[in-house]
Structure 1
Amino acid sequence: MTVSNPQRLRVAIVGGGIAGLTLAIALSRNAPHLDVVVYEATSTFGAVGAGIGMWPRVWDALKGLGLCDTLDLHVDTSCSDARFHYRKSDQCDGIPFGVSEMPLRSIHRADFLDALLKSPPVSLKILFSKRLTRYTDIDGEQVTLYFTDGSIETCDVLLAADGIKSSVRQQMYHSLSLSAIVLDKPKESEIFHRCQQPTWTGQVAYRAMIPRRELQQRHPSHPSLHTPCIYSGKHKVRHIVDDFSSDSQMVNVVVLMSRPTMQDTSQATSGHSSTHTSTAELLRHFSGWESLVIDLLQMLKMPSRWVINTIESLPTYVSGRVGLLGDAAHAMTPHQASGAGQGIEVCQKSVEIKPVSYSPSDQDAFVLSSLLSLPEISSRTLPLALKVYDEIRRPFSQDILHKSVETGRLYFMQTGTMAEIPTGTPLRKALQKQADDIRGTFKWTNERDISQSAQLAVDLFRKRLHQQTPLERDL
């Protein structure tokens, strides 16, 4: 089907994080018939958030946006392209038990946002201090947006990249739950109700930065000075060391602790997501651990404590003219380095699909931009495009969500060959199998190709559009 003059449409993206911004930039560059507006709740883009890990082929994809030169200034060259080294550390003499297959580059979230905004399309409009309170989506009409400042806006499609506590997701699933009650489907209504809010994984993360120079003085041969490490202990901790600082002078330390019995509860989801704690509190949990870990922990000053929440596997990412992407759709644990909402390699038009491996949020943005950039997109065909996006993206991203849970359990030694071995028992063969299982959960990073998903989405959209009756096409 050929459309010479695509209908001009207004696209509202709620949330100016990495997924939302990259989608906005992609659409602004590749779809001149779209008026793209980003509504960001904060007054400016800030540095809140952890570092971002990018697989090698994702990094290569940044060339399509012309960002590599800028990002190279912020990536730690001492750990660039390094592989994670695994150690069993819950004993006096730690045991190395493997190395990850795929290297991971790291960059701070604020630096990545700066690179995205270095040269945004002239047509892209970003509005700050615009916190969405609610929306209305009436069949056959535009979506109406209501903000806390009293302003009201309209759009043809609302795309929510507003994070794990997404107000759009909450309203969408509240409406779906009420509709199910009207249809006398109480079980379905309860499922929809549970999807509104995030749940606690039973895990917390402690974060702090250590000056590299101080670590060198205290422990000149510490492995975390030159390579990212994961220090594991049974049922208790996955301890990651990586470097997300922009000047390469700081070592980023993240300690993750697990309480499996608290998984899928809502106990920790209310209130602030982070607080500060003392080093002494943290050290209480590490009696008997190897000195490499103790040395790091003793150097932490006022580490921040973060609750790790996730989203249940949603039955749908779309409803009418509203769609979810990024953490709003599939917020996950950090164990796959894949849920940070990175929006990369979306500048290629849908007819120029390039083979690249992506994290889930990358693919959300890419598939959405490939669909919405099509000349066949109109006010009438937008709901169909969103349904196709959901059909293509939801199974894949939820598969990665589940893989991240499994990877975390392997790091915590709650599953796999190490699950039944007493703490402190050095069994190298079992550890080698554990490392193989961990590496197995990451195979998708080198096997799955976003270009296939995007092309499949485009083909499916056109097939469904062609199958519509003349009456459906005129509606």
Structure 2
Amino acid sequence: MRAIVIGAGIGGLAATLSLRRAGHEVVLVEQSPRFTEAGAGIQLAPNATRVLRGLGRLDAVAAQAAPPGELSFRRWSDGAEICRYTLGREVDAEFGAPYLQLHRADLQQALAAAVPPGSVRLGTRVVRIEQDDRSAHVTTAGGERLTADLVVAADGIRSAARQWLFGADAAVFSRTAAYRALLPAEQVADLDLPDTGIWLGPGRHFVHYRVRRGELLNVVAVFGTDTARESWTELAEPDEALRAFEGWEPRVVRVLERAGRMYRWGIHTRAPLARWGCGRVTLLGDSAHAMVPFQAQGAAQALLDAAVLGDCLRGAGPADVPEALDRYARRRLAGATEMQARSARAGDEFHLADGPEAEARDARMAAHAAEQRFLPVAAAWAADVVDEPGAP
């Protein structure tokens, strides 16, 4: 069969590879004139890295990643450790795939390198999707009409395809935003930072971990706010992040000082859907289930979508497409929707004000870590594991 995938982000690239492994011809359509990905860190749990291994890209991705070591949760004011979890080799042994931390652009490049150039249409904006009983059709801004047996819309949080399928449905502001930066790891080598740190405070939390083979420190400082634009490229005002995190433990403040001027990103989501597609057209990734990043599962869920999509379409013919796409959505929708809710709950927990509720949270986290070596979300990793693309 012939498929058209709209969007060359992580989800669209993975869907392209998964469908090709399922034996289908794929055209990947991307409105940007080149593969681009905003610079930021990304964490991939075993449910995601297992999919990458099935796509034949895990080694390429792992070569660019940083060894994650341990994750330390800490209090905002004094840096006292709440609890600690392993993210290293024990994760691989327990779940059958590693936990990786890397630059988002490195992941995208590793996926793009496996897509044949002849299958990619860059600089091509889709303005309409139509379908009939036998085919799906995509019209480009240049007036070209492309025909296929199915269309996969991986066109991100501002998905036009979602609107075409289900009507007007704007992205939802989460009332949180983040300051982001990447800086040379050597610039913070004297601060005795944990391998991966999440510092919890009233209305805010602060995350750091290493990427690009450990050479860079990825910094994300999340805060509650009433307004923020959804942009990967908007710069914060000078010292804005320092003012927002004034009074935090000195190491946090030092990292923000050394990061310099940071980017300011308003965090948006999409409301859960009851279904992801219609007939021969389906959504995938953020277009279907954009979530806050507080469980580090946005990209992982898109990769899982891609793996299940390829599995549902393996051996399918044109007449099977509507039922196969419906089966794909049924297999993925509940898990992705639950992860949306789980991520939102984590943000609420992270931002509790000092007092009895925060103390109770810290006690729960410490008790869990004393019993389990792995994060609470590890249960979702295990539940979300799917057969690797191309596996028997």
The two structures have a TM-score, normalised by structure 2, of: 0.87
Q: CA deviation at 1:207?
A: 0.6
After superposition, give the CA deviation of every residue in 1:81-128 in whole Å (9 maximum; x if it has no partner).
323210011x2x222101235553111122122222334358x61110
Assess, with a 3 A threshold, how the Cα gap between structure 1 residues 201 and 57 changes in structure 2: closer, same or farther.
closer
In the alignment, residue 297 of structure 2 is paired with which amino acid?
S
1:431 matched to 2:362: yes
- Which of 363, 370, 378 in structure 1 is aligned with 2:311? 370
1:287 matched to 2:246: yes
Structure with greater Cα Rg = 1
Equivalent position SS for 2:152: strand
Contact 1:274 1:307 in 2 (8 A): no
Assess, with a 3 A threshold, how the Cα gap between structure 1 residues 454 and 405 changes in structure 2: closer, same or farther.
farther
Amino-acid identity (%)? 26
1:172 equivalent in structure 2: 165
Contact 2:55 2:390 in 1 (8 A): no
Contact 1:311 1:329 in 2 (8 A): yes
Contact 1:210 1:250 in 2 (8 A): yes
Contact 2:42 2:296 in 1 (8 A): yes
Contact 1:310 1:333 in 2 (8 A): yes
1 CA distance for matches of 2:193 and 2:71? 11
- Which of 192, 196, 215 in structure 2 is aligned with 1:222? 192
1:243 equivalent in structure 2: 210
2:275 equivalent in structure 1: 316
In the alignment, residue 433 of structure 1 is paired with which amino acid?
R
2 CA distance for matches of 1:167 and 1:24? 19
- Which of 203, 208, 220 in structure 1 is aligned with 2:181? 208
1:180 equivalent in structure 2: none
1:96 matched to 2:90: no
1:40 matched to 2:30: yes
Contact 2:21 2:310 in 1 (8 A): no
Where relative contact order (Cα < 8 A, 6+ residues apart) is larger, the structure is 2
Assess, with a 3 A threshold, how the Cα gap between structure 1 residues 364 and 454 changes in structure 2: closer, same or farther.
farther
1:387 equivalent in structure 2: 326
1:134 matched to 2:128: yes
1 CA distance for matches of 2:111 and 2:209? 23
Equivalent position SS for 1:134: strand
After superposition, give the CA deviation of every residue in 1:141-179 in whole Å (9 maximum; x if it has no partner).
4222111122221222111011101110011112xxxxx
The two structures have a TM-score, normalised by structure 1, of: 0.73
Contact 2:31 2:123 in 1 (8 A): yes
1:19 equivalent in structure 2: 11
Contact 1:56 1:81 in 2 (8 A): no
In the alignment, residue 209 of structure 1 is paired with which amino acid?
L
Assess, with a 3 A threshold, how the Cα gap between structure 1 residues 30 and 384 changes in structure 2: closer, same or farther.
closer
2:376 equivalent in structure 1: 440
Equivalent position SS for 1:252: strand
After superposition, give the CA deviation of every residue in 1:318-377 in whole Å (9 maximum; x if it has no partner).
11211001111001111111112xxxxxxxxxxxxxxxxxx3222211111011112xx2
Equivalent position SS for 2:266: strand
In the alignment, residue 38 of structure 2 is paired with which amino acid?
V
2 CA distance for matches of 1:60 and 1:135? 32
2:301 equivalent in structure 1: 360
Count residues with an aligned counterpart: 377
After superposition, give the CA deviation of every residue in 1:418-472 in whole Å (9 maximum; x if it has no partner).
67458xxxx5x752314557943442113443239999xxxxxxxxxxxxxxxxx
In the alignment, residue 71 of structure 1 is paired with which amino acid?
V
Name stretches of at least 5 consecutive residues in structure 2 with no aligned partner: 89-98, 370-374
